[in-house]
Structure 1
Amino acid sequence: MKFRVERDVLAEAVTWVARGLPARPPVPVLAGVLVSADEGGTVTLSAFDYEVSARITVAADVEESGTVLVLGRLLADISRNLPGRPVDVSTEGTKVQVTCGSSRFALLQMPADEYPTLPTAPEGSGSIDGSVFTQAVAQVSIAADRGDSLPILTGVRVEVDRDRMTLLATDRYRLAMREITWSPRTSDASHVALIPARTLSETARSLGAVGTIDVALGSAAGGDGLVGFEAGQRRTTSRLLDGEYPKVAKIFPTSSETEAVIATADLIEAVKRVALVAERTTPVRLRFSEGQLAIEAGTGEDAQASEALEASVTGPDIAVAFNPGYLLDGLGVLGTEWTRMSFTGALKAAMITGQTSQDGELDTTYRYVLQPVRLAG
């Protein structure tokens, strides 16, 4: 194998493919990146850990075709630190020679014949705007469980009904849902897939800037158990989570007694400041009254903080307490200038939505439901 490729092209490609390589692979070859050169003028780099696969094809000047397997993270580190000149890659015995200007590296070849075959993505289901998808995934994945006690809650439930896609996630303390439109291949498209939240977040961030993302939604029950994403020359698949996701949509409040509209940026900064005196699991208290929101943390002999903000409040006064981290998670991905908080009671789930102006229409395409904390005494 022998080819020449631009340094930035190689560095970007290897870094993208190697981003998900396991730190402690169950078998050594899974730490590798498969590099395949084709005399048609392309080089394809691939990685797979039995759960997630990644593949990217880049243009190169190929003198001799071939396939090698090398340590992925090492090749990524080397590629990023090479001088800004063309890179020559070739095989020489059991080594892979990487040359760029006066920089020379010799990497050991790993046994490519032991590398697993990459999965084939399901048939394409449709396409979606990359920036819309990236924002939707960010808004929802924050609510997915990060523990291992209930693996099914570590996923994002993606449901497709014709041209509407609904993303949903919960960790039992909060619930996030975002509705977006997409372009399905068929007018009667209908899919449900449970995708690992961490994988979905990394995929959306790495593909969203490309433009349009092609989505292939498989079914865990259908045997393939995969979801595929493709943008430009980047393709990735992920194994789906299996199991019945809890019916949590009924948690969304259908009515409210008290509603408050607050400037999002001001609310985020105030909560951050007040939460400085709160221990990690200590809640912040929000007291809503006519025209004002008071935010407090700390009691008794502990450090204390308070701050007041202007707020447009309708309905009875109410005092609620939230985990500050969970509250900031939802506010941070809202993406609107104004925040609407809706309450049916001090201990009942509160709903956070966004709106573009203080007296504008409510936007329910994104809903973040947060369970209040019961205060002692």
Structure 2
Amino acid sequence: MKIRVNRDVLADAVAWAARVLPSRPVVPVLAGLLLEAGEDLTLSAFDYDVSAQASVEADVAEPGSVLIPGRLLAEITRSLPADTVEIVTEGAEAVLTCGSAEFGLITMPVEDFPTLPQMPPAIGAIGGGVFASAVTQVAPAASRDDTLPMLTGIRVDIDGEGVAMAATDRYRIGARDFTWRPESPDVAVSVMIPARVMVEIAKSMRGGEVSVAMGDGVAGFESIGRRTTVRLLDEQFIDYRARLTHDWSIKADVRVAPLIDAIKRVALVAERNTAIRLSFSQGQLLVQAGGGDIGRGAESLECELRGDDIQIAFQSQWLLDGLAGVETEFVRLNMEGPSRPAMITEVTGDADPAFRYLLMSLRRPA
């Protein structure tokens, strides 16, 4: 194999594909990045659960394929000077040259690299910005505990032009509804996709239109020359919609950016995982934290309250995760009592909010 390729293009593609490489591969070849040169250059990574492929333009003098340690290649290409990169295979070595820099990398046996899963049939498409926004809003509510795989995923329900995403770790629920362009108006799909994979896909594909594919226990996503497949989780999930449907007796509207800033400031005197206390009264919200060995902090904000005065407490980071998903100027906190869950929504006038974040309160706000 002998190719020449733009340094920035190569470094970007290598970094994108290498993100799925396992830190502890079950077999050595899974740590490799497969480079295949034909009409263009394709880079592939696979860990049996997630695959990634990126295609880039390259000047191919001699077609061929080579398997190179992926993380090392990512570090090298990121550090190369701004010049054209040449890669040539010589026996068991891949020689990478860029300007005055040269690296000889020991290759791995291409024939041992597993066959990547085929991309399933496309079922629709969505703008990368909307897709990234939805994933970013719901993913923080997914659990990081792999002992309950169902809680580590994002539930995706597709019904015609409507898509609903949701995630939960049992203490909170993040949900977002949006529309997309289905291949068929009667498409109906319900799947569970690992949240960590969805986050990476959303970050890397937010710049273009994302084609979504489903079939045979695999989900596929493709945009601007990049393709990812991921093995689906078990479809079992809670009935989260029932938990988000409630006639809240207390509603408070607050500017979201000042509220986030206030929580971060007063949390400086709070011990890790202790409560942020929110005291709502007519026209005012008092944000408080601390009071132990470190000290205490308090800050007041304007708010519009409908219903009775209330004091309620939340775990600070979980509260911030929900507020970070709000894309309107004001956030609405829907409450029922100090020991009951509260729901964060955007303030959208008469329209139903597309984003909802249900959060357990701490039972001792004082």
Q: Are the counterparts in 2 of residues 32 and 71 from structure 1 also a CA contact under 8 Å?
A: yes
Which residue among 75, 79, 82 is the counterpart of 2:80?
A: 82
User: Whole-Å Cα distance in 1 between the matches of residues 330 and 174 of structure 2?
Assistant: 18
Listed as ranges, the gaps of 5+ residues in structure 2 are none
> Where do 1:273-352 residues align within 5 Å?
273-299=265-291, 303-352=295-344
| 1:80-111 per-position Cα deviation (integer Å, ceiling 9, x unaligned) | 11111111111111100111121111001101
SS of the residue corresponding to residue 353 of structure 2 reads strand
What's the offset of the Cα at 1:299? 3.3
Distance 2:340 2:365 in 1: 16
Tell me which of 139, 142, 145 is aligned to 2:140: 142
Q: How many residues align?
A: 366
Q: Does 1:259 align with 2:254?
A: no
- 1:354 touches 1:363 (CA, 8 Å); kept in 2? no
Residue by residue over 1:278-326, the C-alpha shift from the partner in whole angstroms, topping out at 9 and shown as x without a partner, is: 1112111111111111111123665211111110011111111100110
> Alpha carbons of 1:376 and 1:254: their partners in 2 closer, same or farther (altered >3 Å)?
closer
Compare 90-99 and 250-259 and name the one that shifted more. 250-259
CA–CA distance in structure 2, aligned partners of residues 62 and 137 of structure 1:
38
SS of the aligned residue for 2:129 comes to helix
**In structure 2, how many angstroms separate the alpha carbons of the residues matched to 1:101 and 1:141?**
42
- After superposition, the CA RMSD in angstroms is 1.3
Give the counterpart letter for 1:365 in structure 2: A
Aligned residue for 2:206? 208
- Preserved CA contact (<8 Å) 1:353 1:362: no
Matched residue of 2:77: which SS?
Answer: helix
> What residue in structure 2 maps to residue 17 of structure 1?
17
Task: Output the amino acid matched with 2:21.
Answer: L
Q: In structure 2, how many angstroms separate the alpha carbons of the residues matched to 1:376 and 1:327?
A: 14
What do the CA deviations read for 1:24-47 (whole angstroms, capped 9, x no partner)? 111110000000011x3x011100
**Which of 346, 370, 373 is the aligned partner of 2:359?**
370
* Percent of matched pairs sharing the same residue: 49
Query: Helix, strand or coil: the match of 2:10?
Result: helix
Of 149, 152, 171 in structure 2, the residue corresponding to residue 151 of structure 1 is: 149
Contact 1:152 1:241 in 2 (8 A): yes
Q: Which residue of 2 aligns with 1:49?
A: 47
Distance between the aligned counterparts of 2:74 and 2:279, measured in 1?
A: 51
Instruction: Please tell me whether the aligned partners of residues 353 and 363 of structure 1 are also in contact (alpha carbons under 8 angstroms).
Output: no
Q: Secondary structure at the match of 1:364?
A: coil
Residues in 2 aligned to 1:155 and 1:3: alpha-carbon distance in whole angstroms: 40
Q: Distance in 2 between matches of 1:157 and 1:301?
A: 42
Q: TM-score, normalised by structure 2?
A: 0.97
Q: Distance in 1 between matches of 2:240 and 2:59?
A: 53
- 1:109-161 deviation digits (Å, cap 9, x = unpaired): 10111110000121101000100000000000010011123111000000000
Q: Which residue of 2 aligns with 1:217?
A: 214
Task: Deviation per CA, 1:21-70: give whole Å up to 9, x if none.
Answer: 111111110000000011x3x01110000011000111111111111100
What is the alpha-carbon distance in structure 1 between the residues aligned to residue 68 and residue 273 of structure 2? 45
Partner of 2:189: 191
Distance 1:278 1:370 in 2: 20
1:214-252 deviations in Å (ceiling 9; x for gaps): 00123xxxxx21100000110000111114112222111
The 8 Å contact of residues 96 and 109 in structure 1, kept in 2 or not, is answered as yes
Distance 2:197 2:80 in 1: 29
Contact 2:338-2:365 within 8 A present in 1 as well: no
- The letter of the residue matching 2:165 is L
Quote the Cα distance in structure 2 between the aligned partners of 1:376 and 1:196. 34
Q: 1:117 & 1:4 partners in 2: Cα distance?
A: 26
For normalisation by structure 1, the TM-score amounts to 0.94
For residues 115 and 138 of structure 2, the distance between their equivalents in structure 1, rounded to whole angstroms, comes to 32
* AA aligned opposite 2:19: R
Gaps of 5+ in 1: 219-223
Contact 1:354 1:362 in 2 (8 A): no
